[in-house]
Structure 1
Amino acid sequence: MVEESSGNLWFAAAFVVFCLLLSAFFSASETAFTAASRSRMLVLEKGGDRRAKLVNRLLEMRERFIGTVLIGNNIVNIGVSAFATSVLVAIFGDGGAIYATIIMSILVIVFAEVLPKTLAISSPETVSLVLSRPMSWAVALLGPLAIAVERIARVMLRPFGIRIGENTPILSASEEIRGQVALLHKEGGVAKTDRDMLGGLLDLEDLSVSEVMVHRTKMRTINADLSSEEIVREVLSSPYTRMPLWRESQENIVGVLHAKDLLRALDAVGGDASKLKVEAIALESWFVPDTTSLRDQLKAFLAKKTHFALVVDEYGEVMGLITLEDILEEIVGDIKDEHDLSVQGVRPQPNGSVNVDGSVPIRDLNRAMDWNLPDEEATTIAGLVIHEAQAIPDTGQIFTFHGFRFQVLRKSRNRIMAVRITPLSLVRPRAE
């Protein structure tokens, strides 16, 4: 009898350990599979890893996978608790139920929940690959029951207006990528320059050419009615290789003159500029709507094999010009060469404030200073101040919004020329 009782105890202990291992398996699987990187698994699958293929297949049937984990975990935990209770009640009487509750709570929490989930979250990809095959067996075994439970849950939630699987994701794919990159940057895994480049690439679809173009007030153009000698001098003194030609009015663009074409033509006539017919050398103007997205304009540049276009509004009026370089700068930041002007328009001060030209784009300032000023309603800093103030402010006026203090330094007629921007964290409160 003693040997039989001892054998029963060993069987009970072995059964409890087995159930705890099963519970740990389900807990670790739930944590590892949900925390594993989908992009990493996709790369492994394309590399021929069959285990990664199983992981991706299980994640595609997420509801069935979660249902299997929950059903398996609950069956195992309830079963082992009931078994342990019956064994301890047989040994200790009514007090065995209390002992069973205490002992099984400790065992389940420590060995079936905390330890496996801690291990899984520390290396989710590795753990999910190891558990991929047994988890696929579990889903195949408990799948029908999971489907039944899922349907019951759908029916019970329907009166509350909740329809599983019919809600669209809150975040778009680009927002998900942007959030991941921002998180990795915060944790030190992605450099600021790389984060800005990825963010700029994702922004191409949301930005229009009117937001990054060179405004017509800053366009460098040439009067086509000037003499050939004067036009040659204008081109040679310009830092740009492409110059719009206009006649009668600067709004009337009649062509685009390329410096290389001009020099080739000049060489062909033996250097005698008076023999040149400039308009015959000029390229045909290419006009694009101001609402064109940067992504579409980039594709158009590549398809047309040109780098320069004029931007017009809905009435056909020239608003500015856009170049391939302008679009690339939205991705990689400012591209400077030996002919570019050195003025940046952003001048940090020793006290932490920044003096900014009114024409500086908000996006450029955010990238340079790692700020997050909104650019939905305005493109430039001057436009942001006017939008927030709901008026054209005077020199010396101070405004506070978006966590910064804006002081107008210079103004010319109705244009804000310079602004001093100071983070509120650096502004000392006035003494009462």
Structure 2
Amino acid sequence: MTTSILIIFCLIVASAFFTASEIAFAASRRLKLQQLVDDGEQKAAQLLALKQHPGHFFTVVTIGLNAVAILAGILGESALTPYIRDTLQPWLAANLLEQVSSLLSFISVTALFVLFADLIPKRVAMMIPESLALVIVRPMRLLLLICHPLVWMFNGLASTILRLFNLHGQHQDEITPDDVYAMVAAGAESGALRKQEHQLIENVFELDTRTVPSAMTARDSIIFLDHADDEHTIKAKISANPHSKFLVCEDVIDRVIGIVDSKDILLHIIQDQRISLRSETLLRTPLMIPDTLTLSETLDSFNASRQDFAIVLNEYALVVGIITLNDVMNTLMGDLVSPYMIEEQIIQRDEHSWLIDGTTPIDDVMRALAIDEFPHSENYETIAGFMMFTLRKIPKRTDSIQFAGYKFEVVDIDSYKIDQLLVTKTPAPTSTESSND
């Protein structure tokens, strides 16, 4: 009896080892292992080397599991059957004794293997994959060396069969932005990341998809100085519009001759010097960027030019807006930015309605209303652009659109420009419908 129990115990331990090895190897994360390598953990480096050719590892595991399963079938049942038969002999008839003993032996061995060789090792491996993988890496390297001829043979046969079905090549373990999004979302859900940290990381990736018009100050909101303005006019404009920098143009905004810093003008006033926008000491050469750049590329432009202010031009070299480093940072920080630092463009009136400025970037509207995507969003940048594109006309007051369970209604127009929309939650279907009142 002792020998039989010892045989079954050894088979269970061997099966548990291979099962835990398989799960721990598959579940261990490369980033975590690389951190351990950076900390000087030699076993982590060996494990990463094994992950370069995972097929060899899993071949050894498969050979081991199948060998143990066959031995368990041969030795396990026959090891317990005689003792179970002797125990049941006083209570069972001779014609039933052998069948019942074999059945109970099979059930007992199977239950032991399912519990101790499969379920428990798998759960432990899933809980501590990296720690367990570091424990098994050296024994598995030894088994790989011993079983190398078998590994070579079985891998070759498997590769040949897969090629017959046009399945070849190895899985590329690359981390994509979607993978990072998923990890960040999981971290926020588990509490490892705060909501603000989650939002900040998502905004970082948005910099590669959002273009300059989504964050710039639009052309019609730009206050510029004319190079022919006298000192009194310059002071009046700066006093009424206290910005840090101003465009200096020749008659019209599209004829830019430079930019001027308010601090330089203030310095002239303090030193009681004459202010003239024709003076080269006041004018600076502006950074010009196309309106097709992403916000990430805009940051690169700011960094390369050592400037924090840029004029945005379209394909016809017309000024469509201006953008500052602070605009990009506001986009990056999102809701983390104090409401006193940025203009409030989306005002929630109650649980089911919002007032939205027409120039609000469509990405901000999507975030505020929890809308996954607007139709044909590549054709516009703002919520006003969405209204114009969908209505197929210049909107007028009371024009409305039903989309994604919301009603978007124009409530204020200023010289054909959509100033403000009222958005209300409705039970409407998600398809786009327009009504021109």
Both proteins in one fold, TM over 0.5: yes
In the TM superposition, residue 181 of structure 1 has moved relative to its aligned partner by 0.5
1:305-324 to structure 2, matched below 5 A, reads 305-324=306-325
Change (3 A) 1:353 1:281: same
Change (3 A) 1:172 1:129: closer
Structure 1 unaligned segments of length 5 or more: list them: 1-8, 428-432
Aligned position for 1:6: none
Given that 2:409 and 2:423 are in contact with CA atoms closer than 8 Å, whether structure 1 keeps it comes out as yes
Can you list the C-alpha shifts for 1:141-199, whole angstroms capped at 9, x where unaligned?
A: 3455334333322222223332232x667x85222111210122223322221112111
Change (3 A) 1:110 1:424: farther
Residue 167 of structure 2 is aligned to residue 175 of structure 1: no
The DSSP-based 3-state class of the residue aligned with 1:333 is helix
Aligned position for 2:188: 185
Given that 1:309 and 1:323 are in contact with CA atoms closer than 8 Å, whether structure 2 keeps it comes out as yes
Can you list the C-alpha shifts for 1:286-335, whole angstroms capped at 9, x where unaligned?
A: 21122223223212212321101111122322221221112222221265
Aligned position for 2:268: 265
In the aligned structure 2, how far is the partner of 1:33 from the partner of 1:59?
8
Q: Which is worse superposed, 301-310 or 380-389?
A: 380-389
Aligned residue identity for 1:296: E
The DSSP-based 3-state class of the residue aligned with 2:419 is strand
220, 224, 238: which one aligns with 1:221:
224
In the aligned structure 2, how far is the partner of 1:422 from the partner of 1:380?
18
Aligned residue identity for 1:346: I
In the aligned structure 2, how far is the partner of 1:133 from the partner of 1:232?
77
Q: Percent identity?
A: 24
Aligned position for 2:346: 346
In the aligned structure 2, how far is the partner of 1:240 from the partner of 1:35?
54
In the aligned structure 1, how far is the partner of 2:368 from the partner of 2:148?
53
User: What is the aligned-residue RMSD (CA, Å)?
Assistant: 3.0
In the aligned structure 2, how far is the partner of 1:425 from the partner of 1:27?
52
Structure 2 unaligned segments of length 5 or more: list them: 86-97, 430-437
In the aligned structure 2, how far is the partner of 1:261 from the partner of 1:337?
29
Please, what TM-score do these two structures have when normalized by structure 2? 0.83
In the TM superposition, residue 90 of structure 1 has moved relative to its aligned partner by 6.9
The DSSP-based 3-state class of the residue aligned with 1:349 is strand
Aligned position for 1:408: 410
Aligned position for 2:90: none
Aligned position for 1:399: 401
Aligned position for 1:251: 254
In the aligned structure 2, how far is the partner of 1:337 from the partner of 1:186?
26
1:110-149 to structure 2, matched below 5 A, reads 110-149=115-154
In the aligned structure 2, how far is the partner of 1:152 from the partner of 1:211?
56
Aligned position for 1:362: 362
In the TM superposition, residue 253 of structure 1 has moved relative to its aligned partner by 0.8
In the aligned structure 2, how far is the partner of 1:186 from the partner of 1:398?
37
146, 150, 174: which one aligns with 2:155:
150
In the aligned structure 2, how far is the partner of 1:105 from the partner of 1:11?
18
Aligned residue identity for 1:245: V
Given that 1:373 and 1:402 are in contact with CA atoms closer than 8 Å, whether structure 2 keeps it comes out as no
Change (3 A) 1:22 1:398: farther
11, 14, 18: which one aligns with 1:26:
18
Residue 285 of structure 2 is aligned to residue 284 of structure 1: yes
Change (3 A) 1:276 1:355: closer
In the aligned structure 1, how far is the partner of 2:349 from the partner of 2:412?
17
In the aligned structure 1, how far is the partner of 2:186 from the partner of 2:109?
39
